[in-house]
Structure 1
């Protein structure tokens, strides 16, 4: 059961990392102007456009996507799966913490969507880090 849950978490994290990373790296100005999409624009309120920062952010998300893909390919490798979860957890816990101090810049809908999406990604990473329930043989995943 833990392997199936981990696989699902890794798929979502891979998609988040790849889509955000590709957009930020390939079209950094568009990403800054209109992230997260769907008619919302969260980034311009946090500061002026910076191509270097946007592309670095994209590269970081692509690196996390790559790690997630490697862990997904070898989901039974507990060390690799937990390492992927730990990398996402460190990034997203800090990311969540920062954005929680910036909520005053947004309306209620944007606050809920921002904290909800960051909370979801942080929660998925936490699931990967936590061990599974002990199996009948006494081992945990």
Structure 2
């Protein structure tokens, strides 16, 4: 349960960082995301404020779902949030992976780590909680996380 909450807070941080930047400061996001002198968005086509603000809103919605799930009991809401992050993250990663041509290797690695990391977090959130064996029967029993 603690691990799932850590994963949920990690997705909330990712979603909040990307979402706030894109939704509130779309020009800055376009010109300088991910920061530290790297540019990943502007190299992909002309500025489209509507699209960037929508992407920011999507990330904020994922962050809000992650935060809400972090405050709930039981694993179900975390698993649902994991599905959302994964369904968003896989096509997002595939698109960007197809656009790596001509990018400096540091940007390719950064994209793979950033986008792949989001997919990995989503997949980890979808995993069932740990199970333990009953001391009497040796059969698998559900943990509090699975029955809460």
TM-score with structure 2 length normalisation?
A: 0.88
Number of equivalences: 138
Question: Does structure 1 residue 5 correspond to structure 2 residue 3?
Answer: yes
1:132 to partner: Cα distance: 2.2
Distance 2:117 2:50 in 1: 27
Which structure would you say has the larger Rg?
Answer: 2
In angstroms, what is the RMSD of aligned CA positions? 1.2
Q: Which residue of 1 aligns with 2:132?
A: 135
Question: Does structure 1 residue 31 correspond to structure 2 residue 34?
Answer: no
Instruction: After superposition, give the CA deviation of every residue in 1:21-73 in whole Å (9 maximum; x if it has no partner).
Output: 11111110110110011111101111111000010011000000000000111
Distance 2:41 2:56 in 1: 14
Identify unmatched segments of 5+ residues in structure 2: 135-140
Identify unmatched segments of 5+ residues in structure 1: none
Q: Which ranges of 4 or more aligned residues in structure 1 deviate by more than 6 Å? A: none
Distance 2:3 2:127 in 1: 11
Q: Which residue of 1 aligns with 2:138?
A: none
Distance 1:46 1:87 in 2: 25
Q: Which residue of 2 aligns with 1:115?
A: 112
TM-score with structure 1 length normalisation?
A: 0.93
Distance 2:84 2:41 in 1: 23
Contact 2:8 2:66 in 1 (8 A): yes
